[in-house]
Amino acid sequence: MSIFKLFSFLYDFFLIRRPILYISAIFIILTSVAMFSNIRIYEDIQSMLPDNQSDAAVDFKLLQQAPFARKLFVSLEGKQGATSRYLIETADRLAKRMESPFFSKVVTGPGPEMEKGLFLWLTRSLPNLVTDQDMEKILQDLTAEKVQLRLQDIYTSLLTPEGLAFKALFRIDPLGFNSIVFKKLSSVNLIPKIRLEDGHFISADGKNVLIIADTDIKITDSKRSKEMLDYFRSAVDAVVPSNIKVSFISGHCYAAANAGTIRKDILVILSFSSFAILVLFLIFLRNWRAIFVLIVPFSVLFIASAGVFLVYKKISAITIGFGSVLLGISVDFALHIYFALHGGKEDPSTIIRQISRPMLLGGATTIGAFFAMLFSDLPGQRQMAVFSIIGISASLIISLVVLPHLVGAGYEKKESAKRQPNASLTVSSGLVVSAWLLLMVLSIWQGTRLSFDDDLRSLSFVPSKIRIAENEMRQTWGNFRGTAMIFTKGPDLQSALENNDRLFAYLSKKISPDSLISLSPIFPSLKLQRLNQQRWTAFWENGKKELLRKLLDKEGKRTGFTADAFLFFLNSLSGKFVPVVYEDLNEAGLGDLLDSMIIRSDDSVQILTFLPDTFETVDILSGKDAKLKGVRLISQTNFSRIISNAVTHDFLWFIIRASILVFFLLGIFFRNIKKIFFALIPVATGLIFMFGMMGCVGIKFNMFNIAAAILVIGLGVDYGIFMVCRISKGYDHDTGRAVLVSGLTTLAGFGSLILAKHPAIHSIGITVLLGICAAIPAALLVVPALYRSNRKTSDP
């Protein structure tokens, strides 16, 4: 028994066993509905990023470990004469309200206790941090004139009450050598336009106060992100007065905004597509039995979702949004059964045997097209492929096994009147072919302008409020979120620090050191610290210490200091080497900074370096320089390049794989090169027109449009198969009308995607809509016209 006769046999088998069939179908559908209600849906962008060991996958994992990934930045701006003291007090009250479980740590500044600890650390650590350039600066200051000016400033300060408080500090460092290390602190200033006032983060203009809050919530967890932001907004409403403006930004803002937008889009999409399909049914079917046809796509939606749930346990919201498209696809097979059986001129068993041939081939080619997506590096695309394959398979089975018993009752057995395919070529056919060829030429011409969109930000929905907050943060505090990051890895802290020292030395020769944010200047490896200490010791032992002692004695007496006033300082120049360690920096008040730039794991330590995110810096680090061992660059610019290459690669291979598989299936079924050619006309027309229009109006191709291309291939070949079977076999199954209505229902599904505000979902809808709009008339008009032309020219 052939597979085509199988469905005819099943129809006869269940003809007297319909209750069993109906109960089984209802049970499967209700079970799928129950499973659908328990599905965990996630709305983040991670599903559309590679999850293998590719560069993009590794980069995204590292991005989630970045210091800003789980931080909320809050800026308080005073209005109507609000003083900095008023802002600071308000910031402290708000920080106290930001508690667990949403926030693990909230700081408004390093605290006033940092100043004393930091100064002592600056003085003590100087020998371990000085470079050749620093020693040259010290040598330039060892003149009588400069020493005299410095001592006079100290003496004048000591005559004031404030100066007396710094007497001990002047004794430790009379020449202000600690300023050398103090300047090095700028190399770890993650927020450019920030200064400290009363232990708080204040903007350069003194009109804003900054709060930095840590959270354990991942930026990919959209549900918890929304809860955290709602909690924060309630805290703002409770303690911040109306004359203070609050702006905040975090990766969680984007996650929550995208999730909320996708949820709303899904509701709009499914509602509109369902309504549009219902209207089409009322216009074209006008029979109460059509309600069973309408049930098919909704049943398939639940079955496909349940099937994906069994494989993945959780489903991307974009995949569910794709369900509206599946509504339009899955109803196609049901429509062909309906039009073939409704008022049929042959018995249903025969009609099912005949219609099952193009339906199974159409389903197989569509499934084959989506099968190519299973090889994608993007989990979201693989999930959409599984969703579509299950849905299309379910639609075929329901349409061929269950639906005939619901819509096929009552027929008149009449002599089959097959349509003759030898119709003569008419003028209209010539016009159709000419117009089609002209359209293809224009589309190919415009298609050469098609480009790929490699910017992930363009595929993420960013509300105007977030854009405004971004701009305000950037203007007030600098573009601290728009930098590139370098992860320097080592098996332990010292190994990572050594690699980081080599990186800093390498980059300092390529770009301005002022544009680098690095730990190396203030926390070098022990190896580099020993070299610096040796340089420091050699410098003072080479007669410089004696020169300085004489200068201090001479100029000190002239200024009014005693002979032993600077003895402690002179003795400290040749003190024992005490290395700078993590604990010292932590006691100096730099612990939070270290934790932001040092990432520890069980088997490695990574140190972050920040630099401008430009093509020039990316190119500098793209080479395989031995000095860059253990180094990885993470930047939006480089990430976009990687994604662009991945999308281009996937797109080409998807098209090639899907095309080969479809051509193979058509060859098995038709075994005639001309019929294969005619069946592929809607596919070629849809793809060429889609690419041409995208190039013409400037719509860029992206990772989501890949699914669009696969859909055009799968659906276009379906239309071609049905039309070729109708013309070549002469079946009177009202195929033309079925193709038209099924095409319109597909357009209804895709048209609903255009209503989405989320750019990713919208991009799928608009591109596939272009392809299907061209594939439908190509199937209904071009295929018959070319087929008639071929038959006429081949007649003797």
Residues 313-342 as b/e (b if ≥16 CB within 10 A, e otherwise) read eebbbbbbbbbbbbbbbbbbbbbbbbbbbb
Residue 251 has pLDDT above 70, yes or no: yes
* Of 249, 275, 308, the domain-final residue: 249
Query: For residue 788, which of 332, 428, 453 has the smallest C-alpha distance?
Result: 428
Same domain, 653 and 702: yes
Residue 101: is the preceding peptide bond cis (ω within 30°)? yes
What CATH number should be reported for the domain holding residue 95?
3.30.70.100
Banded pLDDT at 427 (limits 50, 70, 90): very low
Same domain, 296 and 237: no
Banded pLDDT at 421 (limits 50, 70, 90): very low
Q: What is the pLDDT of residue 426?
A: 44
Residue 767 lies in a domain: yes
Residue 526 lies in a domain: no
Phi-psi region of 410 (alpha: psi -120 to 50; beta: other; left: phi over 0): left
Same domain, 316 and 269: yes
* Of 222, 249, 276, the domain-final residue: 249
Same domain, 297 and 380: yes
% of the chain beyond a pLDDT of 90: 14
Same domain, 652 and 754: yes
As a whole number of angstroms, the distance between CA 340 and CA 738 comes to 8
As a whole number of angstroms, the distance between CA 478 and CA 473 comes to 7
Q: What is the pLDDT of residue 726?
A: 79
| pLDDT tens digit sequence for 28-80 | 999 999 988 877 776 655 666 666 556 666 776 776 666 667 788 999 998 87
Q: What is the pLDDT of residue 115?
A: 56
Residue 430 lies in a domain: yes
Same domain, 96 and 231: yes
The DSSP output letter for 217 is: S
Beta-carbon contacts of 662 under 8 Å, excluding residues fewer than 6 positions away, are: 365, 368, 369, 680, 683, 713, 714, 717
As a whole number of angstroms, the distance between CA 407 and CA 334 comes to 10
Q: What are phi and psi of 417, to 5 degrees?
A: -105, 90
| Range ranked top by mean pLDDT from 456-470, 486-500, 610-624 | 486-500
Same domain, 222 and 365: no
| pLDDT tens digit sequence for 715-737 | 888 888 888 887 876 655 567 77
Residue 611 lies in a domain: no
HSE-CB of 358 using CA atoms within 13 angstroms:
32
Same domain, 242 and 262: no
CB 456 within 8 A of CB 643: yes
| Range ranked top by mean pLDDT from 634-648, 691-705, 768-782 | 768-782
Q: Which pair of tokens denotes residue 557?
A: 């007496």
What torsion do the CA atoms of 3, 9, 11, 17 make, to the nearest 10 degrees? -130
Same domain, 35 and 76: no
Q: What are phi and psi of 203, to 5 degrees?
A: -70, 165
Banded pLDDT at 792 (limits 50, 70, 90): low
Residue 588 lies in a domain: no
Average pLDDT for residues 765-788, to the nearest whole number? 86
Total structural domains within the chain: 2
| pLDDT tens digit sequence for 136-194 | 888 888 888 888 888 888 888 877 776 666 677 777 778 888 788 888 888 888 787 88
Residue 395 lies in a domain: yes
As a whole number of angstroms, the distance between CA 396 and CA 297 comes to 11
| pLDDT tens digit sequence for 267-276 | 888 788 888 8
SS3 percent helix, strand, coil of the chain, rounded to 5, is: 70, 10, 25
Q: Which pair of tokens denotes residue 670?
A: 């038709």
Check the CA dihedral 381-386-391-392 and report its sign. Answer: positive
Q: What is the pLDDT of residue 603?
A: 84
Residue 11 has pLDDT above 50, yes or no: yes
Of the two residues 93 and 326, the one the predictor is more confident about is 93
Beta strands 71-78; 244-249: pairing state: antiparallel
Same domain, 294 and 368: yes
As a whole number of angstroms, the distance between CA 760 and CA 438 comes to 32
Of the two residues 445 and 729, the one the predictor is more confident about is 445
Same domain, 25 and 77: no
Residue 765 lies in a domain: yes
What CATH number should be reported for the domain holding residue 747?
1.20.1640.10
Residue keyed to tokens 């010791």? 537
Q: Which pair of tokens denotes residue 93?
A: 């009250």
Amino acid of residue 612 = P
| pLDDT tens digit sequence for 379-416 | 777 888 888 899 999 999 999 999 998 886 444 444 44
* Of 220, 249, 278, the domain-final residue: 249
| pLDDT tens digit sequence for 203-243 | 888 889 999 998 888 877 778 888 999 999 999 999 999 88
Of the two residues 646 and 693, the one the predictor is more confident about is 693
Beta-carbon contacts of 769 under 8 Å, excluding residues fewer than 6 positions away, are: 747, 750, 751, 753, 754
Same domain, 94 and 37: no
Which residue blocks in 109-250 are alpha helix, DSSP H?
113-129, 132-141, 144-158, 161-164, 167-172, 178-184, 222-239
Residue 586 lies in a domain: no
| pLDDT tens digit sequence for 539-559 | 888 888 888 888 888 888 888
Domain that holds residue 738: 3-47+255-458+639-794
Residue 667 has pLDDT above 90, yes or no: no
How far from the centroid of its chain's Cα atoms is residue 83's Cα? 41
Banded pLDDT at 795 (limits 50, 70, 90): very low
Q: What is the pLDDT of residue 349?
A: 85
CB 321 within 8 A of CB 761: yes
**Per-chain mean pLDDT for the chain:** 81
Banded pLDDT at 749 (limits 50, 70, 90): confident
CB 683 within 8 A of CB 691: no
CA distances from residue 452 to 227, 455, 458 in whole angstroms, order as listed: 36, 9, 12
